[in-house]
Amino acid sequence: MLSHVDKSNHPTMVDVGKKETTHRTACARAVIIFPEDLIEADKDPLLTKKGPVIDTAIVAGVLAAKKTHHLIPFCHPIPIEDCSIKIEWNAKKELEVLCSVRATHKTGVEMEALTGASVAALTVYDMCKSLSHEIQIQKVVLVSKTGGKTDFLELEKL
């Protein structure tokens, strides 16, 4: 049974009033693929006329995580205690975005982590699209979550 559908099959917000408040964490990943010619060029693709790409993406991702309940229907407003975004090149020469969120609440922070990672990746794309429209955002996934009924850890490696 879907949790956001009532007995009449209409959309509804989940009532978390009777749930136990627990410590919740979530981490999400987004991968940004740059065309090979940009990676191999002498010029860093993250140095653009639009400003500091990584720093701007970090700020955008944190802001998005905090505003998730404004963007996703039926997400509860959650008092986020911590949100961090790391953006680094991985061994495959892909730009990897990791968004980690922490809160003590009655519902999880998976959507906040996924939204933060997605918006940070979109910001990188926006700031670099003048270099190439072949930049791709791939595999936005939940990496881990703790708290609530079950914990989760992604086993597949990128």
Q: Which of 103, 113, 93, 89 is nearest to 29 (CA)?
A: 113
The span from the CA of 33 to the CA of 128, in Å, is: 12
Q: Report the distance separating Cα 139 and Cα 154, nearest Å.
A: 12
Strands annotated E in 41-135: 47-48, 51-52, 82-89, 95-105
Radius of gyration of the chain (CA): 17
Query: Which of the residues are catalytic?
Result: 126
